[in-house]
A and B are shown apart, each in its own frame.
Chain A
């Protein structure tokens, strides 16, 4: 027996959730599981920067049976694990699909990191990029591969706009401008109608995927980034190496 590639018929929709640390990726996954678990067979893979905090959070929320939530440890390289070297995640997804066949959707949470980290099309079929208003109203304007070209951009925690002096409507408009008409979803767990819109988007994506109509798009490569161990804050050139 070996780790075979799954055939199209038995494969789940693999949906990545990316975005900076703390914007609400785990919360989005918890909400999706809570609302969609009766409609779809779901599995979750988390990617932590250290240990398995996200998996523990999701298990403690009780949104899925514990064995359907698995953590991949990324050795402090969360972007490598979803982009340059997806082998660990790919195998975690394939194992999950095999162990709980047939699954409809596997959600993969990125370990966070910065604005430039997006999923490789080798790992996911579609991806959601999550920003939050508390991170600053100008972030959406900064663009980048995830903001510009993820299948869906979520602007989370819109309930906090007034507390952090962010004009949510403006932020959404900026995001729409950065995305050439691709969807932007303002979200707050305190506004159930927005959570329902998120669920509808996933339902629609699953339907399109299952009908064979979804073509994975690649938001694009990572921009040069700052390493945790580097002393300087500027790199003049893009690069990658084994342990980043």
Chain B
């Protein structure tokens, strides 16, 4: 492949990089409550947790990021409130809905300073993170698949990064899990982008109810390292 054919990959790396200053480091993606409850205790358990998260919360976020990106690419943001409502309906835990909106505000605040665009202002007061990710991807010239992949990566790598602070684990093992998951993330991103021309109500609704319950317990616990 010639260099000029590489497309927008650098923009995708920028958006997906955990060092993007949007406050993601304060969250464990449900890993802390899972460890506290004794559900994740070792490397194998961490791998199962991360796969489960990616296939549920990750895929959910990915299809919404892809849909938001597709709408934003066409310059039509009028569907976003309905998209937001559909996402609300797919997140049972009030705490996780709030986390998604907090992270969305932060991502919007960061991206609107990094790469200002009028679409960011059109997002409403507290937009969900996947929706902001989709709009940010479009603004950077990326498409629905890339938006989906960026949020899948953020979902998975963010939780994985918390592992080193929460459990006795070799950081190389954590990244070995992420390396094993790369093909899965690519596949899920493609799948998430297949819904872009369908009504929002038809977007998938994968979930894992125990993580929603755990998130509520976590909010009420007095000692925690991570906000979620």
Contact = CB atoms under 8 A, between A and B. Distances in A.
Given A87-B21, A88-B23, A229-B164, A75 B28 contact: yes
Given A3-B105, A51-B223, A228-B165, A85 B125 contact: no
Nearest to A77: B25
Contacts of B24: 242
Interface string B154-191: 00011001101100000100000000000000000000
Query: Which of the four size classes fits the interface of chain A?
Result: 20 to 34
A76 B27 CA distance: 10
B26 A3 contact: no
Which one of A2, A76, A243, A244 has the highest number of Cβ atoms from chain B below 10 Å of its Cβ? A243
Contacts of B225: 49-50, 75-76
Given A73-B26, A76-B226, A88-B23, A243 B18 contact: yes
B25 A242 contact: yes
A242 B227 contact: no
B211 interface: no
Interface stretch (B59-67, B72-80, B116-124): B116-124
A229 B120 CA distance: 37
A242 B161 contact: yes
B110 to A, nearest CB: 5
B42 interface: no
B162 A243 contact: yes
Name the 7 nearest CB pairs between A and B, nearest first: A242-B18, A75-B26, A85-B21, A243-B161, A73-B227, A88-B23, A2-B121
Interface of A: 1-3, 49-51, 73-77, 80-81, 84-88, 90-91, 228-229, 240-244
Interface of B: 17-19, 21-28, 105-106, 108-110, 112, 120-121, 123-125, 157-158, 161-162, 164-165, 171, 222-227
20 contacts: A1-B125, A3-B112, A50-B224, A51-B222, A73-B26, A74-B25, A74-B26, A75-B162, A75-B227, A76-B165, A77-B25, A85-B19, A87-B23, A88-B26, A91-B109, A242-B19, A242-B161, A243-B25, A243-B161, A243-B164
